[in-house]
Structure 1
Amino acid sequence: MDTTTIVLLLAAIVAVSLAIIVFSQMREKARIERVRKMTAQEDAYHKARRLLTDIPAQYLTSDLKLLLLKRMEDACKELSALKSEQPVGQWLENTQQARKEVLEGNDRRPPAKIDSPEKANQIKELLQSLFKLIEAMHKAGRLDAANARKNLKYVLFLVHKTHADLHVFQARDFIRQKQIRKAIHAYHLASTEMGKSSDNPLAKKAVKSFRIRIKELEEMSAEGSMNAENHTRLDKAWDNFLQDDDAWKKKADYDD
């Protein structure tokens, strides 16, 4: 075998070896990218599902529920295309069934009572995650601009409501401790929070109610007396703020 043949043979061996290495690297890169995509879609599915189940029912409009279900359904379809080993078929079937229930008005989850600062903070964090998810869906082209704006605006209103919740809980504690000045200040803070969504009719009603309550507390403080029955009624109205919109939209007996 002459020198030229040997050189060519060695060159061929090197070329084949390099081709094998490049092919292996490309294959590994594709595998890593596939795993990355599957992990991202699994995370997206579980995140949307958690928001749907953990955010109190009274906070979620039908539009928000359908938005979360759409994200779950999209994730399932992408996982199917990636041949995920997860039970994607069952996930998709459950998601489509839940979507059907929402569209038919049969989604009857009971409302959750938000009766502590801890719960209010937890819900605030969930709402902030929902806000970011809607933004991400819009940027990814999964949600048009009009619907993104509408839903983001409503979620922001809910965030303000949870901030107001915290101040209301503080005010109630101050009233039980007969610290009326501090209770009045807490209600002022709650009113300020709801005022940040001044274009929302429910927020306007809430601000009006807080102002009336502040006035009543000031009068009671001056008289040195407390009307527990009146406070119980107003507390109930606030607790049912999102559960019964009519209670806030109608001319109630605690309005001017």
Structure 2
Amino acid sequence: MDTTMIVLLLAAIVTVSIIIIVASQMRERARIERARKITALEDSYNRANRLLSEIPGQYLTADLKLLLIKRMEETCRELQGLKSEQPVGEWLNAAQQLKKKVMDNEDQRSPVKIDSPEKSSYVKELLQNLFKMIEGMHKAGKIDGATAKKNLKFVLFLVHKTHADLHVFQARDYVKQNQIRKAIHAYHLASTEMGKSQDNPMAMKAVKSFRTRIKELEAMKGDEAHTAAAEGQSRLDREWDTFLHDDEWRKKADYDD
């Protein structure tokens, strides 16, 4: 074998080795990228599922539930395409069943009392995560601009309501203890929080109710007045606890303005 043949043979061996190494590296990169995508999608599914499970029932309107379920369904389909080892088919089936319940108005969730600053902060964190998720869905082209704007504004309103809920709970407790000045102050704080959502007619109706309640408390004199005020509180309590899901109020709300 002459020198030329030896050189050509060595060159061929080097070339084949380089091709094998490059192909191996490409396969490894593809494997790592696939694993990264699967992990990111699983995290996305878990975040949406957590928000759906842990956001208190009084804040989760049908629109927000359907948005979260939509995200879960999309994530499951992408995971199926990547052949995830997780039980994605079961996840998707459960999400679709829940979607039907929501659309049939059969998914009823219990409200949670916001009775401590810690609980208020935790719910606020959940709502902020929901805000980021909706932003991400919009940037990824999963929802249109109008839908994103409507729901982002509503979630911001819910953040304010979280603080107002805590102040209302404290005000009710002060009334029970006959600490009227503190109760009035707490209702003022609740009114201020709701006032931050000036473009939301539901928030403005809440502000009006709080002002009415404050006037009632300021006018209280004697036990008879206290009893009347307590009855008034019961009415206000019922309105406040259910007004997010009150059809009459929601018909007046237009978050696209």
Alignment: residue pair count? 247
Counterpart amino acid of residue 241 in structure 1:
F
Q: Please state whether the residue corresponding to 2:58 is helix, strand or coil.
A: helix
Larger deviation: 172-181 or 9-18? 172-181
Please report how far the alpha carbon of residue 219 of structure 1 lies from its aligned counterpart in structure 2 after TM superposition: 2.6
Q: Does 2:203 align with 1:203? A: yes
Q: Relative to structure 1, is the Cα distance of residues 166 and 200 closer, same or farther in structure 2, using a 3 angstrom cutoff? A: same
TM-score, normalised relative to structure 1? 0.86
Question: What do the CA deviations read for 1:185-223 (whole angstroms, capped 9, x no partner)?
Answer: 222121111112222222111101111122222233xx4
Q: Which residue of 2 aligns with 1:132?
A: 132
Q: Select the structure with the greater relative contact order (CA < 8 A; seq sep ≥ 6).
A: 2
Counterpart amino acid of residue 31 in structure 1:
R
Q: Which residue of 1 aligns with 2:34?
A: 34
- The unaligned stretches of length 5 or more in structure 2 are 253-257
Q: Please state whether the residue corresponding to 1:27 is helix, strand or coil.
A: helix
Q: Is residue 123–residue 162 contact of structure 1 (8 Å, CA) maintained in 2?
A: yes
Please report how far the alpha carbon of residue 132 of structure 1 lies from its aligned counterpart in structure 2 after TM superposition: 0.8
Question: What do the CA deviations read for 1:55-103 (whole angstroms, capped 9, x no partner)?
Answer: 2333222222221111111111111110111111111111112222222
Please report how far the alpha carbon of residue 248 of structure 1 lies from its aligned counterpart in structure 2 after TM superposition: 9.9
Counterpart amino acid of residue 128 in structure 2:
Q
Please report how far the alpha carbon of residue 243 of structure 1 lies from its aligned counterpart in structure 2 after TM superposition: 4.5
Counterpart amino acid of residue 206 in structure 2:
A
> Matches of 1:64 and 1:209 in 2, distance apart?
26
Q: Which residue of 1 aligns with 2:244?
A: 242
Please report how far the alpha carbon of residue 234 of structure 1 lies from its aligned counterpart in structure 2 after TM superposition: 2.9
Q: Relative to structure 1, is the Cα distance of residues 91 and 133 closer, same or farther in structure 2, using a 3 angstrom cutoff? A: same
TM-score, normalised relative to structure 2? 0.85
Q: Relative to structure 1, is the Cα distance of residues 121 and 95 closer, same or farther in structure 2, using a 3 angstrom cutoff? A: same
Please report how far the alpha carbon of residue 170 of structure 1 lies from its aligned counterpart in structure 2 after TM superposition: 3.0
Aligned CA RMSD, in angstroms, stands at: 2.4
Q: Is residue 114–residue 120 contact of structure 1 (8 Å, CA) maintained in 2?
A: no
In percent, how many aligned pairs have the same letter? 68
> Matches of 2:37 and 2:126 in 1, distance apart?
24
